[in-house]
Amino acid sequence: MRGLQAVLGCMTYMLIMDAVWIGNVALPLYQRTLKAGVTQNNTVNIAIAAVLVYGMIVLGLMVFAASLVRESNWLSDSLFWGGLYGLVTYTIFSGTNLAIFQDWTLLLLATDSLWGVVLCASSLSIYHAILYR
């Protein structure tokens, strides 16, 4: 039961933090940088994408990062392995965008990659804080 609570807590934290990040930093930055603009997709597509993306990020955190965290050193391990996972996954996304989209910049790549580190490191820490409380 505690494991489920920890996963749900991690996912809830991630959704809230990313909503704040997207609304206040990422979207305005994308709108200023991308000449083609940022499309305003319909609500159903946004909901489907959110469930898929955040579900996969949390699944990846659990499979590839949480399994490396030692209970005796959970905070620093969570920050390290979660941050590394975030760096890898967000840099893959943003690096692919840099290769594909003409207006994608190194600033967007760096910003997204650093956000991935912060979000995934803190999310995995929240997961373990709930799990081990």
Tens of pLDDT, residue by residue over 15-48, are 999 999 999 999 899 888 887 766 666 778 878 9
Q: What is the DSSP secondary structure assignment for residue 40, as one 8-state letter?
A: -
Query: What does the DSSP assignment read for 71-133?
Result: GGGHHHHHHHHHHHHHHHHHHHHHHHHHHH-TT--HHHHHHHHHHHHHHHHHHHHHHHHHHT-
Tens of pLDDT, residue by residue over 83-102, are 999 999 999 999 999 999 99
Dist. CA 122–CA 126, nearest whole Å: 6
Which residues, in sequence order, are CB contacts of 60 under 8 Å at separation 6+?
85, 89
Mapped onto helix, strand or coil, the DSSP state of residue 41 is coil
pTM exceeds 0.85, yes or no: yes
Instruction: Please provide the average confidence, as pLDDT, over all residues in the chain.
Output: 93
Query: How far is it between the farthest Cα atoms of the chain?
Result: 49
The reported pLDDT for the residue numbered 45 is 82
